[in-house]
Amino acid sequence: MRHSGTSANRLAIVIALLALLAVGARGDLPRASRPNFLLILTDDHGCGDVSAYHGSDVQTPHIDRLAREGMLFTAMRANATVCSPSRAALLTGHYADRVGVPGVIRTDPKDSWGFLAPGVPTLADELKKAGYHTGIIGKWHLGLESPNTPKERGFDHFEGFLGDMMDSYTTHRRHGMNYMRRNAEVIDPDGHATDLFSDWAVDHLRQRARTKEQPFFLYLAYNAPHFPIEPPPEELARVQQRSPGLDAKRARNVALVEHLDSGIGRVLAALKDLGLEQDTVVVFTADNGGSLPHAQSNGPWRGGKQDHYDGGLRVPFLVRWPGHIRPGSRSDLAGLSFDLFPTFLELAGATPGSALDAVSLRSELEDVRRAEVRDLYFVRREGGKAYGGKSYEALIRGEWKLLQNDPFSPLELYHLADDPQEKNNLALARPQVFHSLAAALRQHIQRGGAWPWQPPGHRSR
């Protein structure tokens, strides 16, 4: 009888294993095998201000740790050179003008150049359907009112800032208005915004640690180091003591970035202390390059925020997943930030929609096979005298890059392999390449034109 029971047990084990293999083949992974996701997004943060990329006067040991323990991408770009379009693409897996956000969504409707399309699923929506708890801490910048508040766009919990930028990191106002919220509640907390967002993220992780049976997605979107460059006084004093010859404007930015890095360090430490580190995919990246007038660094690339030169688009991009991503690995894949959308869904056992513009990075993370090379498209619409409410675009195809850096300048063409600094404009010298890329760019612009980028009733305002 004992022998019969043992055979039955073995048979049960084999059946269970076969069932798990069948489930895995369907892509519907059991909940216990699904990772958590912590997506850390900083604001106006170029590669030159992350010391994992090269020697720098700024020190970011906690961010650098993600590079040592995971994969550092050397050729990733943000989806746009300014905030709202980049975030809209990141959270939808579509190019920003295909979800109604070609430009910055601002608190003043007369100077707002986007409206996130209702009904388009967000990453939070899709992960929530897959059984995840979804939270956002920090900067939203995709709408101030219904239907485009975080709770209406897939997030179970929101604690942060609805608007575009703060006039001060300590008063948290924008044009005298308070956009700080806990879900729908108006709040008025004390403290530096970076510290608040870090502390709230740690608290959120503590709450999720109590319900480990449900995986989570936490989108931690700092507003640092976006201007105003306002580090805590003690941080600035420390940097000035360490580097007394540093330019005053640069010293303030270094101090603000290092204060940000310290906050990220507290969040990563909490992840480890709470026993969540091994089961969590951590991604660090930024919404666009740094602002040159504010002494931010995008080295070695040309230009900065607002530019379609690579200084405005190339961003730090680090991914860590213990036991799954080889520590200290590097990738030169030329992808876009919104590629995280299908990547997270695949790792969660869900199936990304076929209509996405984004491409999964899963094979790259697993060192199996890189994603196929495809055209990379960029757009920004802006008002004011310098832009006139018009848009300007860029397209990358392999080593070629076609760009317009403002709506009134001619298109420029660069061969990035030979000219990574984008100094030698080949628009006249290579007409066949120019016209081929220009035709592809026009098709992208036409597709974006199908989506309204102002809310209903805007003309009546």
What integer pLDDT is reported at residue 371 of this predicted model?
Answer: 58
Among the candidates 341, 365, 389, a domain finishes at 365
Residue closest to 350 by CA, chosen among 153, 129, 133, 134 = 129
Instruction: Judge if the upstream peptide bond of residue 147 is cis by omega within 30 degrees of 0.
Output: yes
Residue 65 maps to a domain: yes
Residue 5 maps to a domain: no
Among the candidates 346, 365, 384, a domain finishes at 365
List, as one string, the DSSP characters of 122-173.
PHHHHHHHTT-EEEEEEE--S-SSTTSSGGGGT-SEEEEE-SS--S-TTT-E
Asked if 307 and 426 sit in the same domain, the reply is: no
CB atoms within 10 A of CB 57: 17
Among the candidates 340, 365, 390, a domain finishes at 365
What integer pLDDT is reported at residue 81 of this predicted model?
Answer: 98
Residue 371 maps to a domain: no
Close Cβ partners of 231 (under 8 Å, ≥ 6 residues apart): 239, 252, 255, 256, 258, 259
Residues facing 138 on adjacent strands: 160, 221
Asked if 108 and 228 sit in the same domain, the reply is: yes
Residue closest to 164 by CA, chosen among 117, 122, 89, 108 = 108
**Single pTM value for the model:** 0.92
What integer pLDDT is reported at residue 5 of this predicted model?
Answer: 42
* Residue 400 φ/ψ, nearest 5 degrees: -100, 140
Q: Is the dihedral of CA 148, 455, 120, 147 positive or negative?
A: positive
Residue 357 maps to a domain: yes
Asked if 336 and 449 sit in the same domain, the reply is: no
Asked if 334 and 426 sit in the same domain, the reply is: no
Asked if 145 and 256 sit in the same domain, the reply is: yes
Asked if 244 and 386 sit in the same domain, the reply is: no
3-class SS at 8?
A: helix
Residue 336 is classified by DSSP as B
Residue 406 domain boundaries: 376-460
Instruction: Judge if the upstream peptide bond of residue 300 is cis by omega within 30 degrees of 0.
Output: yes
CB atoms within 10 A of CB 171: 13
Asked if 314 and 343 sit in the same domain, the reply is: yes
Q: Is the dihedral of CA 318, 399, 345, 226 positive or negative?
A: positive
For 201-301, strand residue ranges (E) read 216-221, 280-286
Asked if 331 and 412 sit in the same domain, the reply is: no
Say if residues 11 and 253 touch (Cβ distance below 8 Å): no
Asked if 358 and 387 sit in the same domain, the reply is: no
Residue closest to 231 by CA, chosen among 169, 279, 178, 295 = 169
What integer pLDDT is reported at residue 370 of this predicted model?
Answer: 65
Active-site annotation, residues: 83, 141
Say if residues 189 and 175 touch (Cβ distance below 8 Å): no
Residue 25 maps to a domain: no
Asked if 356 and 387 sit in the same domain, the reply is: no
* First vs last C-alpha separation in the chain: 83
Residue 239 maps to a domain: yes
Close Cβ partners of 104 (under 8 Å, ≥ 6 residues apart): 82, 83, 84, 85, 112, 113, 114, 164, 382
Cα Rg for the chain, rounded, in angstroms? 23
Residue 337 maps to a domain: yes
pLDDT means per 10 residues, the chain with 461 residues, are 40 38 38 85 97 94 98 98 98 98 96 96 98 98 97 98 97 96 97 98 97 94 98 98 96 98 98 98 98 96 98 98 96 97 97 94 84 88 96 98 98 98 98 98 96 81 48
Q: What would the two tokens of residue 247 be?
A: 């330019």
The Cα-based distances of 77 to 308, 336, 347, 355 in angstroms read 11, 5, 22, 21
Say if residues 205 and 22 touch (Cβ distance below 8 Å): no
CATH of the domain at 440: 3.30.1120.10
Residue 23 maps to a domain: no
> How many structural domains comprise the chain?
2
Say if residues 286 and 47 touch (Cβ distance below 8 Å): no
Asked if 392 and 340 sit in the same domain, the reply is: no
Say if residues 161 and 193 touch (Cβ distance below 8 Å): yes
Asked if 92 and 123 sit in the same domain, the reply is: yes
CATH of the domain at 48: 3.40.720.10
Q: What would the two tokens of residue 263 be?
A: 């906050």
